Amino acid sequence: MSKAFVLAAKPRQDVGKGASRRLRREQSLVPAIVYGGEAQPEQVTVELRLLVKALESDSFFSQVFTLDVDGKRQAVLLRDLQRHPAKGFPTHADFQRVNANEKVTVLVQILFENEDKCVGVKQQGGQIARNLSEVEISALPGDLPESLVVDLTDVEVGQIVHLSNLVLPEGVEIPALAQGPDHDQPIVSVNAARGGASADEDGEEEAGEA
Is the pLDDT at 38 greater than 70? The verdict is: yes
Mean pLDDT of 182-201: 78
Encode pLDDT of 115-144 as tens digits.
Answer: 999 999 999 999 999 999 999 999 999 999
Mean pLDDT of 51-68: 91
Whole-number Å distance between alpha carbons of 75 and 39: 13
Q: What is the pTM of this model?
A: 0.80
| pLDDT of res. 203 | 44
Phi-psi region of 203 (alpha: psi -120 to 50; beta: other; left: phi over 0): left
Encode pLDDT of 19-30 as tens digits.
Answer: 666 676 667 889
Encode pLDDT of 68-118 as tens digits.
Answer: 999 999 999 999 999 989 999 999 999 999 999 999 999 999 999 999 999
Share above pLDDT 90 across residues of the chain, in percent, rounded to a whole number: 75
Look at 113 and 205; give whichever has higher pLDDT: 113
Helices (H) and strands (E) in the chain, counts: 3, 12
Whole-number Å distance between alpha carbons of 169 and 150: 13
| pLDDT of res. 28 | 86
User: Whole-number mean pLDDT of the chain?
Assistant: 88
| pLDDT of res. 209 | 43
Sorted by where each starts, the structural domains of the chain and their CATH numbers stand as 6-97 (2.40.240.10), 104-191 (2.170.120.20)
| pLDDT of res. 16 | 65
| pLDDT of res. 200 | 43
| pLDDT of res. 59 | 84
Q: Which residues pair with 30 in a beta bridge?
A: 46
CB-based contact 95:61 (threshold 8 Å): no
CB-based contact 67:43 (threshold 8 Å): no
Angle at 74 between CA 90 and CA 77, to 5 degrees: 45
Mean pLDDT of 44-60: 92
| pLDDT of res. 18 | 67
| pLDDT of res. 19 | 61
